[in-house]
Amino acid sequence: MTTMEGDLTRQSATVLADAMAQGEVSAEEVTRAHLDRISEVDGDVHAFLHVLSDEAVEVARGVDRRRAAGERLGPLAGVPLALKDVLTMSGVPTTCGSRVLEGWRPPYDSTVVERLRAADVVILGKTNMDEFAMGSSTEHSAYGPTRNPWDLERIPGGSGGGSSAAIAAFEAPLAIGTDTGGSIRQPAAVTGTVGVKPTYGGVSRYGLVALASSLDQAGPCARTVMDAALLHAAIAGHDPRDSTSIDAPVPDVVAAARKADIRGVRIGLIKELGGEGYQAGVSQRFDEAVEVLTDLGAEVVEVSCPNFEYALAAYYLILPSEASSNLARFDGMRYGLRVGDDGDRSVEQVMALTREAGFGAEVKRRIMIGTYALSSGYYDAYYGQAQKVRTLITRDFAAAFEQADVLISPTAPTTAFKIGEKVDDPLAMYLNDVATIPVNLAGNAAMSLPVGLAPEDGLPVGMQVIAPAMADDRLYLVGAALERALVDRWGHLLIEEAPDL
**Residues 171-230 close enough to bind other proteins by CB under 8 A:** 199-201, 205-210, 212-215
| Interacting span for other proteins (CB under 8 A) from 56-64, 285-293, 295-303, 323-331 | 323-331
The residue annotated as part of the active site, out of 12, 84, 98, 126, is 84
Which of these, 185, 153, 177, 217, lies nearest to 461 by C-alpha position? 185
Peptide bond into 164 cis (omega under 30): no
> Shortest distance, CB of residue 343 to other proteins, whole angstroms?
7
**Comparison of 1 and 328: residue with beta carbon closer to other proteins:** 328
> How do beta strands 266-270 and 406-410 pair?
parallel
Give residues 83-112 in contact with other proteins (rule: CB under 8 A): 87-88, 94, 96, 101, 104-108, 110
Residue 410 sits at φ, ψ, to 5 deg, of -65, 150
Which of these, 303, 228, 313, 243, lies nearest to 273 by C-alpha position? 303
Does 413 sit near other proteins (CB under 8 A)? no
Measured at the CA of 220, the angle between CA 78 and CA 87, to 5 degrees, comes to: 85
Among 24, 372, 403, 485, binds other proteins (CB under 8 A): 372
Give residues 115-134 in contact with other proteins (rule: CB under 8 A): none
Annotation says 418 is catalytic? no
Annotation says 159 is catalytic? yes
Annotation says 183 is catalytic? yes
The three-class DSSP label of residue 75 is coil
> Shortest distance, CB of residue 49 to other proteins, whole angstroms?
15
Binding mask 302-321 for other proteins (x = CB under 8 A): -----x--x--xx-xx---x
Give residues 425-454 in contact with other proteins (rule: CB under 8 A): 426-427, 440-443
> What is the rounded distance in angstroms from the CA atom of residue 421 to the CA atom of residue 168?
22
Q: Are the CB atoms for 234 and 77 separated by under 8 Å?
A: no
> Shortest distance, CB of residue 399 to other proteins, whole angstroms?
15
> How do beta strands 194-197 and 218-222 pair?
antiparallel
Q: Are the CB atoms for 202 and 112 separated by under 8 Å?
A: no
> What is the rounded distance in angstroms from the CA atom of residue 258 to the CA atom of residue 165?
26
**Comparison of 14 and 94: residue with beta carbon closer to other proteins:** 94
Does 322 sit near other proteins (CB under 8 A)? yes
The residue annotated as part of the active site, out of 136, 159, 163, 324, is 159
Give residues 331-360 in contact with other proteins (rule: CB under 8 A): 331-338, 341, 343, 345-353, 355-356, 359
